[in-house]
Amino acid sequence: MSEENKPTQQIIVMPTKSVAISLILTFFFGALGMLYSTIWGAIIMIIVSILVATITLGMGLFLVWPICMIWGALAAASYNKKLLAQVGQ
């Protein structure tokens, strides 16, 4: 087989997202920390956080903050699962 007829291999490197880093970022920065794992989720939760903080004078953030942490961790895990599924194909 000549050099021209050999099949070429293409390697694509995609980094995974750490669930631990996602949790740390959302713990310290709330909805802004979600930008690491999910951009649309972060935008939604930033708007929700502003609304809830305004209506409840900040007390509602004790409920919104853990939701951000859970959503960020699940988004990072989902991203990794989809990425590994693509590699398996």
Domain annotation covers residue 34: yes
Domain annotation covers residue 26: yes
Domain annotation covers residue 23: yes
Ramachandran category for residue 32: left, alpha or beta (phi over 0 → left; psi -120 to 50 → alpha) = alpha
**With b meaning 16 or more CB within 10 Å and e meaning fewer, what string describes 49-71?**
beebeeeeeeebbeebbeebbeb
Domain annotation covers residue 74: yes
Domain annotation covers residue 82: yes
Domain annotation covers residue 37: yes
10-67 pLDDT, tens digit per residue, is: 777 788 999 999 999 999 999 999 999 999 999 999 999 999 999 999 999 999 999 9
Provide the domain limits for residue 53: 19-88
- What pTM does this model have? 0.82
User: Domain total for the chain?
Assistant: 1
Domain annotation covers residue 52: yes
Domain annotation covers residue 39: yes
Q: 1 or 26, which is more confident?
A: 26
